[in-house]
């Protein structure tokens, strides 16, 4: 008689106020080279002018970084490039995008943080500067307010003499919710390489007062019937895992899994979840598992304990906001683990033993073969739901694995099956 285990997921649906923004997607570039690691996330909008400037900045940064640091002279240490973003559409009047660039070396002899912003006036169809949102009679007041906020928040680190020389025309700024956020590179007004940020309510700006400002509403969580998975413990199991998402390709992968009555584990980046909240909710409600892959793909083992916790905890919180529970698994960025990271998190660290190398190879057949030639009972397969080629590979790989006798399960299900098999083997 066949033995089955029943995996029950108590699923939660969140009635969330922030829906996915359909006027942009997120472009993701994740690479690990001989001397460099690269993680870039930035928005691709439906406005050509914005895309052109963002892509130009990213490409120039990427090319310069590789030219400078992926060379034989840096064989003794690696360098990291990380580009993160914020995006906000303010009442279909302004689109603000801002990119945060971080470059550093393993020994921290180099630390560089820079900001690039692009604020676009949809009605006038042009980029605007900070002074464009100021009326003439409020310019002096706002400038004075900025100086006071900087002194109040960063009094111990800023150079007061440099504040007088602030270039207000070219300030880096963005919109978010009810605020205008203003950013300064530490090297310009302080004695560090950090990014300094202050926030001024939109209502302080006369030109912004009549815009429809989004208000935050508490999430409402409702219980629905459990989703039940039946797993035959006499059959081999494998766990498909996907890193670096969600993305515009994730729903295609979810649909393939659903059509084949299979589940997977998605190790997500926290900075993408608000923008793909409906995908996260659908992912969870279908019985898939969600894991933590840091907030914006910083190289975790290189960070301080405080920075590690921030990367992990921010992601835990934003996931819980939408599905009502937090992950129990962490997949470290670049698969890099050290004792500091293990001691600094209570999440179980999950790596992999089958690498499809879908981030490296663009041919679907190559990705599929990399999985099939190494898979066995209990395998954890690494993929990335940020590429169309991965979605196409999954459409072939999943049915083939099932045809070969495998059951596709989550990490938790895999562990539970292995635990039961070990107990049965002990009794024999």
Active-site positions? Answer: 243, 384
Give the span between the Cα atoms of 203 and 263, in whole angstroms. 47
- 76 SS3 class: coil
Q: Are 260 and 238 a contacting pair, CB within 8 Å?
A: no
- Can you say how many angstroms the Cα of residue 1 is from the centroid of all Cα atoms in its chain? 45
| 367 class by beta-carbon count within 10 Å (0-12 exposed, 13-18 middle, 19+ buried) | buried
Q: Which residues contact 260 (CB under 8 A, 6 or more apart)?
A: 398, 399, 402, 408
Q: What is residue 251's three-state secondary structure?
A: helix
- What burial letters (b/e) apply to 225-264, b meaning 16+ CB within 10 Å? eebebebebeebbbbbbbbbbbbbbbbbbbebbeeeebbb
Report whether 421 contacts 5 (CB < 8 A).
Answer: no
Partner residues linked to 114 by β-bridges: 101
């Amino acid at each position: 008689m066949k033995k089955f285990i029943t995996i029950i997921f108590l699923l939660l649906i969140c009635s969330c106020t922030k829906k996915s923004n359909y006027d942009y997607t997120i472009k993701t570039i994740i690479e690990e080279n001989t001397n460099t690691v690269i993680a870039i996330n930035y928005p691709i909008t439906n406005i050509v002018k914005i895309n052109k400037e963002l892509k130009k900045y990213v490409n120039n940064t990427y090319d310069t970084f590789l030219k400078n640091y992926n060379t034989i002279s840096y064989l003794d240490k690696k360098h990291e490039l990380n580009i993160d973003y914020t995006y906000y559409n303010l009442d279909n009047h302004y689109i603000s995008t801002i990119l945060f660039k971080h470059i550093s070396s393993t020994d921290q002899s180099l630390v560089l943080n820079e900001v690039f912003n692009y604020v676009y006036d949809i009605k006038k169809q042009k980029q605007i500067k900070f002074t464009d949102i100021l009326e003439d009679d409020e310019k002096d007041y706002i400038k004075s307010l900025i100086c006071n906020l900087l002194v109040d928040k960063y009094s111990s680190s800023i150079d007061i003499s440099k504040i007088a020389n602030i270039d207000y025309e070219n300030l880096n700024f963005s919109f978010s919710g009810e605020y205008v956020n203003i950013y300064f590179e530490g090297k310009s007004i302080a004695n560090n390489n950090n990014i300094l940020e202050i926030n001024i309510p939109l209502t302080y700006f006369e030109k912004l007062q009549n815009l429809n400002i989004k208000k935050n509403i508490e999430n409402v969580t409702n219980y629905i019937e459990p989703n039940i998975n039946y797993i035959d413990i006499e059959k081999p199991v494998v766990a498909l895992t996907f890193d670096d998402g969600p993305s515009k390709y994730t729903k295609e992968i979810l649909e393939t899994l659903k059509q084949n009555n299979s589940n997977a584990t998605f190790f997500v980046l926290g900075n993408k979840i608000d923008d793909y909240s409906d995908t996260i909710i659908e992912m969870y409600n279908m019985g898939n598992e969600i894991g933590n892959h840091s907030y914006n793909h910083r190289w975790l083992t290189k960070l301080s304990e405080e920075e590690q916790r921030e990367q992990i905890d921010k992601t835990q919180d934003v996931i819980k906001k939408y599905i009502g529970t937090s992950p129990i698994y962490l997949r470290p960025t670049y698969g890099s683990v050290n004792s500091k990271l293990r001691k600094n998190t209570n999440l179980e660290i999950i790596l992999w033993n089958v690498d499809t190398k879908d981030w490296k190879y663009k041919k679907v057949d190559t990705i599929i073969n990399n999985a099939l030639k190494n898979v066995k009972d209990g395998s954890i397969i690494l993929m990335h739901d940020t590429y169309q080629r991965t979605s196409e590979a999954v459409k072939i790989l999943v049915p083939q694995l099932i045809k070969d006798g495998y059951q596709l399960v989550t990490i938790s299900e895999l562990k539970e099956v292995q635990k039961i098999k070990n107990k049965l083997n002990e009794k024999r």
